[in-house]
Amino acid sequence: MTPVADLSKTLDLSILKDKSAIVTGGASGLGALIAASLAENGACVTIADINENAGRDFIAACNAKGLNLNYVSTDVTEWRSQVTAFKSAINFSSHEAIDIVVACAGVEGRAFTAPDEEPPSLGKDPPLPRTADANFNVNAKGVYYTSKLAQHYFALPPSPRTKATPTYRKCLVVISSLAGYLELNSADYTACKWAVRGLFRSARSVMEDLGYRMNLIAPWIMDTPMSKDFAEWCRQNGIPVGEADDVTSAVIRCAADETIRGRALAIGAIETFDLRDDLEGLNAGITMKEYLEGEAKKLMELQGQRV
């Protein structure tokens, strides 16, 4: 793990040229923006997404621009499906390897309680919470699978097609959320984002010891297709909303700057900053106290939480 990331550092994006990347959830939303940006900087990108129509349309549009992208229909909740996606990405690359993995597949959540819940009755069993299974399967288990496969396939020996001794320090980026640092009402989603944070805290030193990099991205509320309605509600209530392009820029920075290792970056509505999610930063306590007193304050108050 390295010191606090220098986010003002000028990037040499040429390092991404010919790198092999896989982005889960890359057919739309944040994943599509990240995949396109990697490809625009010369990477060979595979998107792994369950939405076949969106995936194929996105690939066709990117290929028409001369970008090098590949699509694999993937259910991130199924181990074998992700294995197939990783193998496809390796075969699609110019050097039979994986250099960059972005775990971006996700689904939205639901409040722990809702106005339309049926009253309790011994004569009728309560229904399964609407989004719980999908959330834990996609947002937690799926990210764990992606991370484990990144660690596994990063270790592939160099291919005969590799023209030079590889020196790039391979990179895994997991997309969590500031919900993994706050107490939000969307309990299933929030629980999963805390789980991703826990995975990151546990695995980053292991990845470091193996010679790889693992970083976490924690966006605030972003104006994306998945969170469009919530973002609009926030605007109506005077809560600042972030820009998806800032998330993309943070992922590209993690991929291109090999000095960023084991860091968690928050993408707020106003700025991107290192969360200092380590002992020195009191496990992000210092930065999150400041954040809760700033742009997150109104949302917490509207949820009935004291800041």
Residue 10 lies in a domain: no
Residue 257 lies in a domain: yes
Instruction: Tell me which residue range forms the domain holding 35.
Output: 15-110+129-156+168-302
Residue 121 lies in a domain: no
Active site residue 291: no
Residues paired with 102 in a beta bridge: 23, 173
Residue 274 lies in a domain: yes
DSSP β-ladder status, 44-49 and 69-73: parallel
Of the candidates 20, 93, 147, 176, the residue annotated as catalytic is 176
Joined together, the tokens standing for residue 121 give 């009755």
The count of structural domains within the chain is 1
Residue 1 lies in a domain: no
Of the candidates 37, 145, 147, 193, the residue annotated as catalytic is 193
Of the candidates 71, 189, 212, 291, the residue annotated as catalytic is 189
Token pair 């990117």 in the structure block, residue: 62
Active site residue 176: yes
pLDDT, one tens digit per residue, over 147-183 is 999 999 999 988 776 654 568 999 999 999 999 999 8
Residue 119 lies in a domain: no
Token pair 């990179």 in the structure block, residue: 171
Look at 1-10, 282-291, 294-303 and tell me which has the smallest mean pLDDT. 294-303
CA distance 105 to 3: 28
CA distance 204 to 170: 13
pLDDT, one tens digit per residue, over 27-67 is 999 999 999 999 999 999 999 999 999 999 999 999 999 99
Confidence of residue 265 (pLDDT cuts 50, 70, 90): very high
Confidence of residue 75 (pLDDT cuts 50, 70, 90): very high
Closest Cα partner for 59 from 69, 74, 72, 44?
69
Which comes out higher in pLDDT, residue 222 or 165? Answer: 222
CA distance 164 to 116: 61
CATH number at residue 209: 3.40.50.720
Active site residue 297: no
Closest Cα partner for 265 from 156, 133, 278, 55?
278
Residue 37 lies in a domain: yes
* pTM of the full structure: 0.94
Q: Is the pLDDT of residue 273 over 90?
A: yes
Confidence of residue 259 (pLDDT cuts 50, 70, 90): very high
* Nearest 10 degrees: Cα torsion 273, 10, 23, 40: 140
Q: Is the pLDDT of residue 307 over 50?
A: no
Q: Is the pLDDT of residue 244 over 60?
A: yes
Residue 117 lies in a domain: no
DSSP β-ladder status, 264-267 and 272-274: antiparallel
